[in-house]
Amino acid sequence: MSFLLPKLSCKKEVDQAIKSVAEKVLVLRFGRDSDAVCLQLDDIVRAFFF
């Protein structure tokens, strides 16, 4: 289900995400879409923050 979370594919996108959330919580999860543990983490993050 990671397709529901935004994907950042380069340093510029990560930098922009960090700069755009000055007064919010930013959670970055680095991993692979094909990894079952990463997909479980996506579900946990989504449950707490969305």
Map out the domains of the chain as residue ranges: 2-49
pLDDT of residue 31: 84
Per-residue pLDDT tens digits for 23-50: 877 878 888 888 888 888 888 877 877 6
pLDDT of residue 2: 47
- Residue among 3, 22, 20, 24 at smallest CA distance from 12: 20
Radius of gyration (C-alpha) of the chain in whole angstroms: 11
Whole-prediction pTM: 0.58
pLDDT of residue 17: 86
Q: Are 28 and 36 in contact (CB under 8 A)?
A: no
Query: Torsions phi, psi of 28, nearest 5?
Result: -110, 125
CA–CA dist 4, 43 (Å, integer): 10
Query: Torsions phi, psi of 15, nearest 5?
Result: -60, -45
